[in-house]
Structure 1
Amino acid sequence: MLKSASVSNLGTGRVVYVSGTPFEQGRQLGAAAADLIVENVCAASALLPNLDSGFDPDVYAAMTRRNEAWVARVYPELLEELHGIAEGAGLQYEELLHLNLNTDVAYARAYSMVFDCTQVLVSSSATADGNTYLAKTRDLSRGPVRQLLVHREFDDGSYRNEIQSAGQLTLPVGVNSHGVAVGTSGQWSKRVVVDLARGDAAWHIPNLQPVLRHARSADEALEMVREQPRVAGMNMMLADTHTAYALEITADQMEVFEPEDGLLVRTNHYLSPALSELAPTRDENPGTFDRYARAREMAVARRRQIGVHDLVRLMSDHAKPPKQSICRHGHDGAGRTYAAMVACPQDRSLWAMFGNPCEGIQMVGQPGE
């Protein structure tokens, strides 16, 4: 007898509690959020190129199946959970692969371009209470936008709190029971090249599911990410109770940064001189520079006094046009904020806002909370 998930609505998303094996968790997740997952599956399929562009769906499907065979060898838990979601949500298993496996160059480019997120990490030396906090928005212009706040409990007694795009398992952000927190933001320019020849045996972008499942420290998480084969990169933040990093990741490089005066800020461009050629220019993506400058300005102004309320205020910030806001409502035609979070490694809690962060907040913590 498979257990049912505990579920409640939150803004434009949903809060789901699941437990058990990967298949059981998938089945519970699928049953609890079937409508949101179906919506995201349809949106992911719409990102695929049209046939007029020369896109061959049979070639694409064959590539996906080759990637699936590789995943079955290196991380079968992902496929087990997808089978569970398919059963719980009444979907075909194959429909979920668009959200989790595909490494087609056009799809990778489309996906990387829609993640216009903002991340701020404040380590213990910069906060009022001595805790570390990792805050991020999830900003999207198209594709899967429905979000879930998921509390997972595993048979070994461990757990994690995550935000995921409903049905997309490879890009969770949040914190695990070991106190390791993970956040992400996309990075794309026309100079980023995706090598399809590597697509059969690599992740589309780093797969954070095994990182949040198994990492016991930020250092261990860093090495897990470094070792993953991938065809595209991103910006990432990692933190535990003592250590914090910003990672600037490409298909074959990773630049690592530590906090300066207790702060790290990343949006959608690389800061490393070694990766500058791959970063968008201000003309190509002015919004990433606007949000980076404003987030850093607000964090610096409150350094050593920062609490969760300051980070919520930061993620709720509205700029005067033509500058791009951190909290985006879609008025600029380039995207809007669909979720935001604040994760704390010390108490393993995750505060979540679905919809714009200026509209509300919810928290999940340790089992029983």
Structure 2
Amino acid sequence: MKPFPFITVRGEPLERGRQYGEQARERICKGIGHYKAQVARYALSSDDIASLTRDYLPIVERFEPAFVEEMRGIAEGSGTTFEDILLLNARTEILKLAEKPALRESLTASRQVPDGCTAVIVMPEATATGRLIHAQNWDWKAECAETGVVLKVEREDGPDLLTFTEAGALARTGLNASGMAITGNYLESDRDYREVGVPLALIRRKALESDNLALAMRTIYATRKSASNNMIVSHAGGIAINFECAPDETFQVHPENGLLVHANHWVSQAALAKLVDRGVANMPSTLFRDLRARDLLRPKVGRITPADVRTALLDDFQTPYSLCQPERPNTAGIITATVAMIIMEPELGTMQITPLPSRGTAPSYYSLRANEIRLAS
């Protein structure tokens, strides 16, 4: 399995978007094809899809106009349309809206194939080096191993950032030159899709553009969303907070004994007292994935290394419904897998990324301080 391509862009938003689109053209087109095929199952035409994406444009413009310019640049550089690129950046929300005509009309809740994840934080006092580790297994459609990229954005108006994302999207999992890192994973509740909020990919990108931890956390805490989601923000200085986000309210979960692990179910007791968790039925393995990761790491607290985190995230207990998920059909018949394992050290500005780790793939290393991929020795 080849490493994910490393793309570096710089300049004003429109120009760096063009650079991104040109360098990732093939993967962007492949990703658009994947999601258009998925949406087409609901008997929607290209015009219908474009209309759905345009519904999000005023929301994105109010949230951050520069993102609109960057997406227009990506479309120009890749030879696609702006609506196609907005589809990639709001695909969670648009796939949900596409499922049923009644949903598109009323924005009431429905179901989609969720992208599960397991995220891990090891606080500095629990690591061998004294450096915070922030990691994640991203579980989603296996074909996305062919559309992932690592994007480095060199900025003049804020900190440089490095993100692993689907080609054409502005961010997913990443870190920045100010020492912050972010991961996101699926949650579902009875409050989802009552109104249209800011697409999750853009919230993560906005957080990564922040030069101050407080501003990044405010973006995640206060921005209204279409649906529930879990986001963890960490800082190399030894801070990590897990934000369990309902569309209109945010709850916090903090590390315990140097560890923070989160899968795809609500953990905050305050949240569970106020809303209904709708996601466990779709992915019951969430109930033990976080327990497995925590139990595998707990005996090593005080001397945990990135290699230990990698070993924990490779766990195959109860495979194929395991922490490291092999390629398998889910209940909707879609082939899913752990598409990528990402292990970040924000202090160093580095990401270790392994595509389809269940295959025994070797990791590759990406850095804010270099423009090359370093392969595992």
- TM-score tier by shorter-chain length is 0.7 to 0.9
The separation in 1 between residues aligned to 2:232 and 2:87, in whole angstroms, is 25
Match of 1:4 in 2: none
1:300 matched to 2:305? The reply is no
> Which shows bigger deviation, 353-362 or 304-313?
353-362
Structure 1 residues 284 and 368 mapped into 2: Cα distance closer, same or farther (>3 Å)? closer
Residue among 56, 76, 80 paired with 1:67:
56
**SS of equivalent to 2:340:** strand
Match of 2:106 in 1: none
Match of 2:361 in 1: 359
Q: Are 1:128 and 1:306, in contact at CA under 8 Å, matched by a contact in 2?
A: yes
The separation in 2 between residues aligned to 1:175 and 1:111, in whole angstroms, is 31
The separation in 2 between residues aligned to 1:107 and 1:143, in whole angstroms, is 20
Structure 1 residues 44 and 192 mapped into 2: Cα distance closer, same or farther (>3 Å)? farther
Residue among 196, 210, 213 paired with 1:214:
210
1:228 matched to 2:227? The reply is no
1:246 matched to 2:246? The reply is no
What is the CA distance between 1:24 and its match in structure 2? 2.0
> Which shows bigger deviation, 274-283 or 244-253?
274-283
What is the CA distance between 1:58 and its match in structure 2? 5.8
Letter of the structure 2 residue corresponding to residue 29 of structure 1: Y
What is the CA distance between 1:261 and its match in structure 2? 0.6
What is the CA distance between 1:31 and its match in structure 2? 1.4
Letter of the structure 2 residue corresponding to residue 364 of structure 1: Y
Structure 1 residues 13 and 56 mapped into 2: Cα distance closer, same or farther (>3 Å)? same
Match of 1:271 in 2: 267
Structure 1 residues 51 and 182 mapped into 2: Cα distance closer, same or farther (>3 Å)? closer
1:27 matched to 2:35? The reply is no
Unmatched segments (≥5 aa) in structure 1:
1-9
Structure 1 residues 347 and 203 mapped into 2: Cα distance closer, same or farther (>3 Å)? same
Match of 1:161 in 2: 162
What is the CA distance between 1:144 and its match in structure 2? 5.0
- Normalised to the residue count of structure 1, the TM-score between the two structures is 0.86
**SS of equivalent to 1:37:** helix
The separation in 1 between residues aligned to 2:355 and 2:42, in whole angstroms, is 35
The separation in 2 between residues aligned to 1:281 and 1:224, in whole angstroms, is 24
1:129-168 alignment runs, 5 A limit: 129-141=129-141, 146-156=147-157, 158-168=159-169
Q: Are 1:204 and 1:232, in contact at CA under 8 Å, matched by a contact in 2?
A: no
What is the CA distance between 1:59 and its match in structure 2? 6.5
Could you list the per-position Cα deviations for residues 208-262 of structure 1 after superposition, in whole angstroms to 9, with x for gaps in the alignment?
1111012422x33221112212111211111112211111111011111221011
1:88 matched to 2:83? The reply is no
Unmatched segments (≥5 aa) in structure 2:
100-108, 372-377
What is the CA distance between 1:142 and its match in structure 2? 6.8
The separation in 2 between residues aligned to 1:87 and 1:238, in whole angstroms, is 32
The separation in 1 between residues aligned to 2:68 and 2:111, in whole angstroms, is 21
What is the CA distance between 1:98 and its match in structure 2? 1.3
> Which shows bigger deviation, 334-343 or 55-64?
55-64
- Normalised to the residue count of structure 2, the TM-score between the two structures is 0.84
1:319 matched to 2:317? The reply is yes
Match of 1:285 in 2: 283
Match of 1:310 in 2: 308
The separation in 2 between residues aligned to 1:66 and 1:325, in whole angstroms, is 37
Match of 1:204 in 2: 199
